[in-house]
Each structure stands twice: as C-alpha cells, then as structure tokens.
Amino acid sequence: MGFDLNIQKSFERLSEPPYRLEDVFKPPDYDWPGDYEGRSLLAFCCHYAVSGKKIPCMDALVGGLAGGANAQGFFGAEYGAGPTDEQQLSGCSWYLRGLTAYAELFGDKTAADFARRTVHNLFLPALEFYDDYPVRRDGKNSGGVYGNRAETAGNWRLSTDIGCAFIPVDGLANYYALTRDAALETPLARMIDIFTDIDKVGLKMQTHATLTAARGILKFYEATGDPKYLGYVKELFDLYVKHGMTLTYENFNWFGRPDTWTEPCAVVDSLILAIELYKKTGGASYKKYARRIWFNGLQFCQRPNGGAGINTCVTEQQPFLRVSDYEAVQCCTMRYAEGLLYYHNNRALFEPESGGVCDEDNRYFLGDCLLAEDIGGTFAERETFAVGGRALIRIPSLNSVSEEQALHACLKVSF
C-alpha cells in the first residue's frame, strides 16, 4: 500500500474529532490563537490538492470565520491590547497559511479578505517591534511538547517554543507571493534579515520555528528573485543538518537539546526544504536528504490511527528509536498532510534504488533506507538483512501495526 495507506489514514484521521467544526474553533483564551484553525484548514487544503476530496468541514470552517475571528479578522486579542505575543503571531501565521491556501485553491474572496485583514491589522503593526526581539534567554531548558507562554521581556510576551515569533516569515511570504502587497515587502525583508542574524544554536531556538521560517524565506526568494534569500536558506539547512537533525533524519525539538524529542512538524519542514533546494540547485545532497527524511524520519512518525506523533532523538549516545508521545493532535497530525502533499507532487524523487547494504557514517543503509535492529520483535514479518551477525530491517511505518505494538516498538540503530 505504501503512500496510499499514508494518505488514506491521514484523511480518515482528519475527518474525525478533534477536527470537526465544533472542535476546530478554539475559545478566545486558547494559548495559541489561530493555530488550530489555521493548521486544520491548511491540512484540509493539502488533502484536497492530493486527491480532490474535501474533509467534511473544510468549507464550513471558512464560512464560520466571521463568528470565530475577532473584529480585526484574526484570533486572540486585538493587536495593541498588551505586549506582542509571539504565540499569537505564530498561531495566526498558520491561520494565514490556511487562508492563502484556500484562497489560491478556490479563488475564495472570504479567505482572501480575512488574510488581508490579518496582515494589516496584526502583522504589519507587530513587525515594527522585531528589531527588539529578545535574543537571550535565562538558560533554563524549559518547555513541553506544545509550548507555553513564558516571561515578558520589553514589548514581547515570549514562548518556550523559542523563536516562534519568526514562524510568520512563512505565512507572510506566502501571502506576499499570492498578493504582491507592496506594504509588506520592505518590513518582511527586514524581518528576514533580523532572523538570519540570530545565533540559533546559541539561543537553543526551536528547530521547527527555524525551518518554518526558512521555508518562508525560500518562498520570498521565489517571489522576489533575489539570490541572497536562496543563500540564506542553504545556510539554514546546513545549520540544521549539522546541529538539529537526529541520526534517523528527524529533529531535536530545540538546537542543542538531544535529550528531548522529535517533532513531525519540523520533519515535514525539513522534507519540503530538501525537495525545493534540490529542485532549485540540483545539489545531490538535497535529494539524498529528501529521500532519507521521507523513508526514515516521516514513516516512523505516522501512527496506526493516521495521526502523527513525536519520537525519541536518536544519537550515538542514545541509539534507540521509540515512540515518545503517541499523537500530537494540536499540530503534527495536521502538518503531516503537507508532507504527504510534497511527496505526492515529487514522487519521481523517491523511486526505489537497487544495490546492497552499505556502511555510511557508521550506520547501515539499503539505498537511502536506514537499517536498524528490531529490539522488541514488533516487526517480525519484515524483510531482514544480515549485517555483522544481526538481522536488520528498514525503518518501518507504524501505520500498519496496532496502537499497542506501536507504543512498545523499539529499534536500535547500529554504529
């Protein structure tokens, strides 16, 4: 079944609670205003782009914005009521992504109008404060899977998802590419320059925030043609590979914190970047990373119920790949759909390769498929490869086993 099973299970999961209309609209005091609504709409649009099938509440979600958004057209408090809230900016960037995707697919004027109001009433005023974004933290390793509001510093209400204030590079660049709104071009360019100057590793910035912003810079490159933006993205991807990628091609949730967990949202971001950088530059390494992220990182992220969840960070010191949290319903299950769309649109990059087992960087591969030892015996029916007296298997998808099996699965990567 392969990809067909990936897409089928994801579609079914997003057609169920908590992705029905009554679940998607969150209360005004939700910690991430606009995030759930935006990621849901974007995921629904991705599935439509793959199959032409609509998640049942997709159109109703857009129809309900007049009653769900605030008077300025976005979610959370109206701008100017307090410190600039980076979680609101991050969440409303996903809202903007969903709106622009829907407007582009269907030529919908309602979605386009809410997108314009969000940019002009929230983001353009907030962009004036990015020169003062705090680039130091107290050094404490804090923050949970979903992130939470932290301290206030100057005009900023910060998040434990460090750097999520720059996720809007993505939403704003997609909006600019669609509309060519002249009011946005200069402040967005300034925001990108500020972002690229930050020491992401030193700050222990969230890798998802970093990669999402990088995708936005790539979109801005496409819109402007300025080669410096492509150069920025290449540098950011290299930084991520060196300091933020696990040995199974997932991510450390924060730079410099391998003791935490991975996040499929970021793994999807890395897949998209690798694909697009390969298409724009022809660099063979980007094709290799795209394939390895898909075959190894993203397969183990999808769960038996079609959702997506976080895993352990595999390093030389910690070689075991396990489920860390079964499903991240607030974010990763939705973002997984965008990864499926990019695989679908670039399937020729993922054709099987022939050849035997090879030893690379002290790991064993069959083509671009990483091999590992099935410690728990969960995948006894899988094809095995004899290496050094051990029977190894390809990194499997969890979507074809039971929930209990997924929770107890344990693979060991050999070094």
Sign of the dihedral defined by the CA atoms of residues 98, 101, 104, 105, in that order: negative
pLDDT tens for each residue of 292-313: 999 999 999 999 999 999 999 9
Selection from 261, 265, 262, 254 nearest residue 139 by Cα: 254
Q: Is the pLDDT of residue 286 over 70?
A: yes
Task: List the CATH number of the domain containing 391.
Answer: 1.50.10.10
- What's residue 106's pLDDT? 98
Mean pLDDT, residues 112-124 taken together: 98
> Domain range for residue 100?
3-412
The DSSP letter of residue 282 is -
- Please give the Cα distance from 396 to 385 (Å, whole number): 14
User: CA of 184: how far to CAs of 180, 209, 366, 371, in Å?
Assistant: 8, 21, 47, 47
Q: Is the pLDDT of residue 192 over 70?
A: yes
The DSSP letter of residue 396 is P
Q: Is the pLDDT of residue 51 over 60?
A: yes
Q: Which of 333-347, 349-363, 382-396 has the lowest mean pLDDT?
A: 349-363
- Please give the Cα distance from 233 to 60 (Å, whole number): 36
Percent of the residues in the chain that have a pLDDT greater than 90, as a whole number: 88
Do residues 97 and 174 touch, judged by C-beta distance below 8 A? yes
Number of domains in the chain: 1
- What's residue 139's pLDDT? 56
- What's residue 138's pLDDT? 66
Residue 383's SS3 state is: coil
pLDDT band (50, 70, 90) for residue 347:
very high
Strand partners, 369: 366
Mean pLDDT, residues 123-136 taken together: 94
Instruction: Sort 131 into a burial class: Cβ within 10 Å, 0-12 / 13-18 / 19+.
Output: exposed
pTM exceeds cut of 0.95: yes
Q: Is the pLDDT of residue 146 over 90?
A: no
Residue 385's SS3 state is: strand
